[in-house]
Amino acid sequence: MRIGVTLVEPSGPDPMTGLRDQLQQAAGDGFSSAWVNNIFGLDALTALAVAGREVPGIELGTAVVPTYPRHPAALAQQALTAAAATGGRLTLGIGLSHKIVIEDMFGYSFGQPIRHMREYLAVLLPLLERRPASFTGTTVSANVGLTVPGEGRVPVLLAALGSQMLGLAGGQADGTVLWMTGPATVRDHIVPTLAAAATAAGRPSPRVVCILPVCVTSDPAGARDRAARVFAIYGNLPSYRAMLDREGAAGPADVAIVGDEDTVAAEIQVLAEAGVTDFVAGEYARGDDAARTRAFLRSLRI
């Protein structure tokens, strides 16, 4: 199982330097990948193209870019450009986002999310493989080719939690990138559904990139209290709430990986045994616990 880390959006007037410094630290610490979210701050693909160009040797991933605000041809063009800027080290994680964002904030209909993603992939995937796309759908249509210089395809991971999305992730994309999904749910729901879809489609074994909050500490109760505050919103978003319910978790703090080194190592090993191919640490500790957590994660790198 590969070990990666998430990057925190830097503050201040020069965020690209801050992001580059985090990437350099992650690469220097020997992690296999570094992941950036795309919410309301930095545009993840632009940020990775700028900062990642200066840091060789580490996979760069988005977790995740929402599909609705960008036509798939525009996203493919940007992803191919970012891949060209970073020597082909980009993995494009995409997702539907949430009704509260897509419908209430952006004003798009969120009424047919599975159809939208299926049609979106019909345009996005051939373009990322440097082939023209010709497709007419209900939510997405395109008849376009791109000429972005470079070689090779850009791999795509879906933020997939429900069975239909997992079917698309295994049957058409390269796998899934997870958040707030505990080990029992990964073992009993995510991996079997994903693998079955890949097998049925004759595709290679899919990646399962699992991101969870991590804190190595001597105060697990305090660390869980902090996780409950920092990640509270995810307990209320329907897609994550469904995964927490599957896990029997009251909230995000219950799926955070918290404790001393032996405890955290054991929980990460459970994820590996459940079928996770890439564990990505969402470090959220402060002070001494932050340094302790990073030192421990360095010891796990493979």
Q: How many CB atoms lie within 10 A of CB 277?
A: 17
Domain ranges in the chain are 1-159, 177-277+291-302
Give the tens place of pLDDT for each residue, 164-202.
Answer: 999 999 999 999 999 999 999 999 999 999 999 999 999
What is the predicted pLDDT for the residue at 302? 54
Model-level pTM? 0.97
Run means of pLDDT, 10 residues per run, the chain, 302 residues: 97 95 98 97 98 98 98 98 98 98 97 98 98 98 98 98 98 98 98 98 98 98 98 97 98 98 98 98 97 97 66
Rounded Cα distance between 95 and 176, Å, is 10
C-alpha–C-alpha distance, residues 130 and 232, integer Å = 41
What is each CA distance from 139 to 115, 215, 218, in whole angstroms?
Answer: 7, 41, 51
Q: At what angle do helices 44-52 and 15-28 cross, to 10 degrees?
A: 60
Please tell me the CATH code under which domain 1-159 is placed: 3.20.20.30
Q: Given this model, what pLDDT does residue 185 score?
A: 98
Averaged pLDDT of the chain: 97
Nearest to 108 by CA among 66, 69, 159: 69
SS3 213: strand
Residue 13 is predicted with a pLDDT of 94
Residue whose entry in the numeric block shows the structure tokens 């500790």: 285
